[in-house]
């Protein structure tokens, strides 16, 4: 809408109300006292109208939506939850693009991505999905027997499972003052999904993040033997081009995944931060 058209609409509204809503100062417009009062009364209505319009656009969103993310997040979190998104938005064809190496920018053929890190990716719309917590997990069978895992000190009697970095267990034991535990022992896996599978099959204790382990814990395949968790400086973020964030299919996916992550993160906090 042009400036002249805006001025015409303002004059029409003022004529209709019989009041001056704006006063001109140099080249700018300022609200009069009546205009300020009117704005306070109607701003909530405009917010509701904006939200209703956004929901309607999202419902009618159609087309292919390419989502780029790490394989572990795709396998353990996104794919099992896509049924609810597909049901809500049948016109959107989700295409999962798993990448072994995360870049600091979006590829040309990607609509949205889930990045892992500190949240600093200039030029992109960045919204936090999940804060990361690292917690010990194991098969329920390791909680019984002669070497039952009951306290963090008992980790000394069990095999530690590692991902490729092998740093998490060192940080975890240092935080709890467990200097007697040899964090160099135990097998190494190149993907966190493999670490979880090894833990599920009783091969040792893994230090998993809350996002990846959540579904396995809820299903009873893994347990968290104690509530001593490590708060990570990293997190999972939803990113997209800022100019495209409100487009129908992208806005629909953003709204869905942010709400889903928020509700599940809250469940985690309730369980482990009491």
Question: What are the tens digits of pLDDT across the range 22-79?
Answer: 887 776 778 898 888 888 888 889 878 877 766 665 565 678 999 999 988 998 899 9
For 103-107, 159-163, 232-236, which range has the lowest pLDDT when averaged over its residues? 103-107
Same-domain status, 74 and 113: yes
pLDDT at 272: 52
Same-domain status, 71 and 104: yes
Question: What would the mean pLDDT of 172-193 be, rounded to a whole number?
Answer: 90
Q: Give the predicted TM-score (pTM) of the model.
A: 0.71
Can you give the CATH number for the domain in which 119 is found?
3.40.190.10
Q: What is the pLDDT of residues 185-200, one digit of tens each?
A: 999 998 888 999 999 9
Same-domain status, 125 and 240: yes
pLDDT at 241: 93
pLDDT at 270: 44
Does residue 120 contact residue 233 with C-beta atoms inside 8 Å?
Answer: no
Same-domain status, 138 and 214: yes
Nearest CA-CA partner of 65 in 80, 82, 43, 41: 82
Nearest CA-CA partner of 182 in 150, 203, 156: 156
pLDDT at 2: 67
Same-domain status, 23 and 75: no
pLDDT at 265: 77
Query: Phi, psi (5° rounding) for residue 14?
Result: -65, -40
The count of domains in the chain is 3
Question: What would the mean pLDDT of 89-99 be, rounded to a whole number?
Answer: 93
* Domain of 33, in residue numbers: 3-59
Give the C-alpha distances (Å, rounded to integers) separating 61 from 81, 89, 110: 19, 7, 17
How would you list the strands of the sheet with 230-241, edge to edge?
Answer: 92-98, 63-69, 112-117, 230-241, 124-137, 205-209, 160-163, 188-189
Identify the residue with better confidence: 228 or 253: 253
Same-domain status, 141 and 181: yes
Specify which residues 160 forms β-bridges with: 205
Same-domain status, 146 and 223: yes
Spell out the residues 6+ positions from residue 224 whose beta carbon is closer than 8 angstroms to its own: 135, 136, 137, 213, 217, 272
pLDDT at 181 over 80: yes
Can you give the CATH number for the domain in which 37 is found?
1.10.10.10
> What DSSP string describes 48-105?
HHHHHHHHHHHHT--EEEEEEE-HHHIIIIIHHHHHHHHHH-TTEEEEEEE-SS--SS
Same-domain status, 152 and 116: no
| Strands 92-98 and 124-137, sheet pairing | unpaired
* Residue 103 to residue 101: CA distance in whole angstroms: 6
Same-domain status, 200 and 226: yes
């Amino acid at each position: 809408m042009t400036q002249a058209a805006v001025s015409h609409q303002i004059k029409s509204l003022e004529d209709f109300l019989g009041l001056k809503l704006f006063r001109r100062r140099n080249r700018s417009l300022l609200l009069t006292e009546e205009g300020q009062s009117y704005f306070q009364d109607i701003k909530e209505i405009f917010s509701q109208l904006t939200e209703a319009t956004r929901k309607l656009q999202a419902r009618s969103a159609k087309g292919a939506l390419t989502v780029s993310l790490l394989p572990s997040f795709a396998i353990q979190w996104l794919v099992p939850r896509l049924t609810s998104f597909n049901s809500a938005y049948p016109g959107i064809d989700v295409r999962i693009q798993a990448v072994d190496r995360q870049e600091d920018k979006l590829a040309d053929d990607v609509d949205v991505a889930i990045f892992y890190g500190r949240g600093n990716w200039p030029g992109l719309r960045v919204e936090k999905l999940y804060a990361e917590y690292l917690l010990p997990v194991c098969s329920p069978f390791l909680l019984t027997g002669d070497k039952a895992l009951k306290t963090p000190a008992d980790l000394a009697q069990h095999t530690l499972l590692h991902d490729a970095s092998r740093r998490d267990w060192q940080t975890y034991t240092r935080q709890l003052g467990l200097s007697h535990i040899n964090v160099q022992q135990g097998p190494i896996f190149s993907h966190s999904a493999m670490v979880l599978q090894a833990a599920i099959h009783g091969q040792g204790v893994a230090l998993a993040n809350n996002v990846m382990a959540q579904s396995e814990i809820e299903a009873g395949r893994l347990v968290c033997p104690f509530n001593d968790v490590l708060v990570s400086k990293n997190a999972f973020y939803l990113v997209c081009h800022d100019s495209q964030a409100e487009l129908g299919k992208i806005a629909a996916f953003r709204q869905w995944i942010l709400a889903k992550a928020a509700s599940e993160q809250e469940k985690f906090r309730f369980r482990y931060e009491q």
